[in-house]
Amino acid sequence: MKRFLKSLLAKYILIILIALFLFQAAYITIVIVFFNLMGDPDSPGNGQESYDEIEENWHQEASQIISEDTIAHVFEEWQEVYPNASMFWVDGDGVLNLQSNLQENLPDEWNVTYTAQFLKNHYDEDPFTVVAFVGGHEEEGFIVFQLPRDMLKSEGQRLNEEYGWTIVILTIGVVFLFIFLSLWFFRGIRKRLVHLQEAMEIRDTDGLPILIEEKKQDEIGDLEKSFNRMVQELRESREREQEEEQLRKELIANLSHDLRTPLTKINAQAYTLQKMDLPTEAKRSLKLTSTSIEDVDRLIENLMSYTLLMASKYRKDLKEINIIRFLRQYLAAWYPVFEKEEFEVDIDIEAFEQNKWEIDPLWFSRILDNLLQNVLRHATDGKYIAVWTESTEHYDAIVVTDKGKGMQVDTEQKGAGIGLSIVDMMVKGMHLDWEIDSTEKGTTIKIIRMKRAGN
């Protein structure tokens, strides 16, 4: 239960309940003001009478008048109840006689026409006007009572006029308060989620995300805890991986060193035996043994190079050299090797538009060594090797091809064996690229230098 009360769901439910309470309070206020206080729109406040009651009482007072003094007494009594009222008496001869608090200019003498016009103009208008005959007979004239209609407004009408907009603004304020609280609530959620997203994108020096501060114990807080736990597990995994990698490198280095010592001794013994007068079959076996020893020694050397490259400890010295001149000199050293193995050698080295390549000569020699050794190892059946240069609009390339049975290429490094893995790392380490296409009809490898804009 305590965990639920700290959750985002509980907070949002609280906002909904507050909003419902405020809506109900506003609704009840409106009902009280506009229904209980307003009442009958014709019912005046402050203990005063309604329109119908005033009219009825005025006629009753007029019917009981018997003299001029009575009229004056009626005016005085009504003036006390209605201080803002106007009253006057027009006698039977059409003369304006008694008057009290008169608000408009009236003629002293009234004829039938003016009387009719007066009644017409004041019928159901403001001020509220009541005309009654004195003593109930036309011969005695009539008395008139006038009262501004504002004086007869009910309490509800006055409140409506004075506070109507206040109620509307209050209701609108409640709505906007709910909207504000909702936006504030979701803004806080969004801010925390954006912060979490930014933290996920930030990387520490080891390339892993950084830990984030756990602020609240709610759903997002649980997500932050899970994220921190994941980061911690990644760090522990990285540490274990680095320890295992270091152990593997040390093992390979020690094993390579331990193997090369006995191989050197075996090779020396084989060389000594080859000088002796031995049967032809024994000499052939010694030659195969020497070749195998050289292959193992080369494999160990590749293994050492691969380990150094993986540890970023293989020295690289980039220089700007003429790649065409370098390639021709290098292939000249390899030509006798292929000629001895009875390979058909086809070399076509043409200059590029830009012959200067920024490479490490030792690295590039090692790349070509591995490629050409693979041809000797895997393409002896085809007895053919070709090396040429290729230039397009986008790149310059050095192409090596053979007619062997091909290699099975299933890895992302586009090669089978540690030698091609070394080629891949060295090529990319010099900011070059390469492609390999191996089929049953032969293998073609391209070392590519992309052209820059303006080259």
Least confident of 22-36, 202-216, 441-455: 22-36
Q: What is the CATH number of domain 317-450?
A: 3.30.565.10
pLDDT for residue 195 is more than 60: yes
436 - beta bridge partners?
445
Say what the pLDDT of residue 411 is. Answer: 38
**Reported confidence tier of residue 412, pLDDT bands at 50, 70, 90:** very low
Name the token pair of 440.
Answer: 């049953």
Amino acid making up residue 333: A
What ranges do the domains of the chain cover? Answer: 2-40+156-197, 51-153, 239-309, 317-450
Least confident of 97-106, 176-185, 251-260, 287-296: 251-260
Q: d(Cα 342, Cα 345) in Å, to the nearest integer?
A: 9
Cis-peptide into 262, omega within 30 deg: no
239-309 and 317-450 have identical folds:
no
Amino acid making up residue 50: S
Q: What is the mean pLDDT of residues 99-122?
A: 87
pLDDT for residue 198 is more than 70: yes
Alpha helix locations (H) across 311-344? Answer: 323-340
Say what the pLDDT of residue 181 is. Answer: 78
pLDDT for residue 245 is more than 80: no
**Reported confidence tier of residue 275, pLDDT bands at 50, 70, 90:** confident
Q: Are 431 and 425 in contact (CB under 8 A)?
A: no
**Reported confidence tier of residue 369, pLDDT bands at 50, 70, 90:** confident
CATH topology of domain 239-309: Helix Hairpins (1.10.287)
**Reported confidence tier of residue 292, pLDDT bands at 50, 70, 90:** confident
pLDDT tens-place string over residues 212-225: 877 777 777 888 88
Name the token pair of 7.
Answer: 């959750």
Length of the chain, in residues? 455
**Reported confidence tier of residue 449, pLDDT bands at 50, 70, 90:** very high
Helices 323-340 and 361-378, packing angle to 10 deg: 30
pLDDT tens-place string over residues 318-362: 889 999 999 999 899 888 888 888 899 999 999 998 899 999 888
Say what the pLDDT of residue 240 is. Answer: 86
Q: d(Cα 326, Cα 386) in Å, to the nearest integer?
A: 17
pLDDT for residue 40 is more than 60: no
pLDDT for residue 72 is more than 70: yes
Say what the pLDDT of residue 444 is. Answer: 93
Say what the pLDDT of residue 410 is. Answer: 43
Residues whose CB is less than 8 angstroms from the CB of residue 442 and which lie 6 or more positions away in sequence, other chains included = 379, 382, 384, 401, 402, 403, 404, 406
* Mean pLDDT (the chain, rounded): 79
Q: What is the mean pLDDT of residues 400-423?
A: 67
Least confident of 342-356, 413-427, 436-450: 413-427
Residue that the structure tokens 């009575």 belong to: 70
Spacing of C-alpha 171 from chain mean position: 34
Q: Are 82 and 48 in contact (CB under 8 A)?
A: yes
Alpha helix locations (H) across 311-400? Answer: 323-340, 361-378
pLDDT for residue 267 is more than 80: no
Higher-confidence residue of 15 and 146: namely 146
Q: Please, is 113 exposed, middle or buried when counting C-beta atoms within 10 Å of its C-beta (0-12, 13-18, 19+)?
A: exposed
Higher-confidence residue of 411 and 131: namely 131
Strand (E) or helix (H) holding 199 = helix 155-201
Residue that the structure tokens 């001895």 belong to: 340
Higher-confidence residue of 176 and 256: namely 176
pLDDT tens-place string over residues 302-320: 666 666 666 666 677 888 9
